Structure 1
């Protein structure tokens, strides 16, 4: 797996995958001279965690024959204050499954399997980072 980033002196980067050609922008906050012209790196990390676990949850629910309309994943991270680097200390996930007659126990099981066993992005985090999850079903 490989990603190439091309940057400019104003802290704007384009991240691109040579495998499939997809690209997205990464930028810095105004506090260090950036123009916020893209996701900040720690936002990309949260999005990656949510995307990885979300894909797992969808896959597990489909294999469990759970019919649903949509999955929304909210990911929020707490960081070390006034430190450099400022890593995450806690990451909270809210998995919100939309659909009629969705079995919440199956959603909770899918979330648990993803977070504890299958998600490579979460497995790549420092084990000291606390992971919290909430599972919701919305009709």
Structure 2
């Protein structure tokens, strides 16, 4: 990946498009937003693959991320809380919890930062009627 100076930050060209990164939201995505997005996106992708392999059908998945940062340590990310909301018919919470555990073990972004950032996952299951 190559990065180039741009107005207020840096820019890179990726296969999906251009990405602007800046400490100022007026000029691009903030680095901490990209870090949290990487963790949530990786976790969601791996979770979905696991559900597909287990043949567990879901209608919707939403992940909310809360971030805690340490202002006295250059705003270092200290905690990321991921809250999974899974909607579907006949879902079993225990199966989904086990799938989240497996996803955690197989998400490269979580594995990369888990020794320096506390990552917690919570689960909410919404069973829809047929």
Q: Report TM bin, short chain.
A: 0.7 to 0.9
* Contact 1:61/1:106 (8 A) holds in 2: no
1:32 equivalent in structure 2 = none
Higher mean C-alpha deviation, range 52-61 or range 68-77:
68-77
Q: CA RMSD in A?
A: 1.7
Counterpart pick for 2:22 among 23, 27, 35: 27
The two structures have a TM-score, normalised by structure 1, of: 0.81
Q: In structure 2, what is the Cα distance between the partners aligned to 1:11 and 1:40?
A: 11
- Distance in 1 (CA, whole Å) between partners of 2:12 and 2:110 is 21
The number of equivalent residue pairs is 127
Q: Which runs of 5+ in 2 are unaligned?
A: none
- C-alpha displacement at 1:21, in angstroms? 4.4
Corresponding residue SS for 2:73: coil
Q: CA deviation at 1:79?
A: 1.0
- In the alignment, is residue 109 of structure 1 matched against residue 125 of structure 2? no
Q: How does 1:2-81 map to 2 (within 5 A)?
A: 3-8=1-6, 10-17=7-14, 20-29=15-24, 36-81=26-71
SS of residue matched to 1:82: helix
The normalised TM-score by structure 2 is 0.86
Aligned equivalent of 1:132: 120
Q: 2-side partners of 1:103 and 1:14: how far apart?
A: 44
Q: Which structure is higher in strand share?
A: 2
Runs of 4 or more, structure 1, over 4 Å off, are none
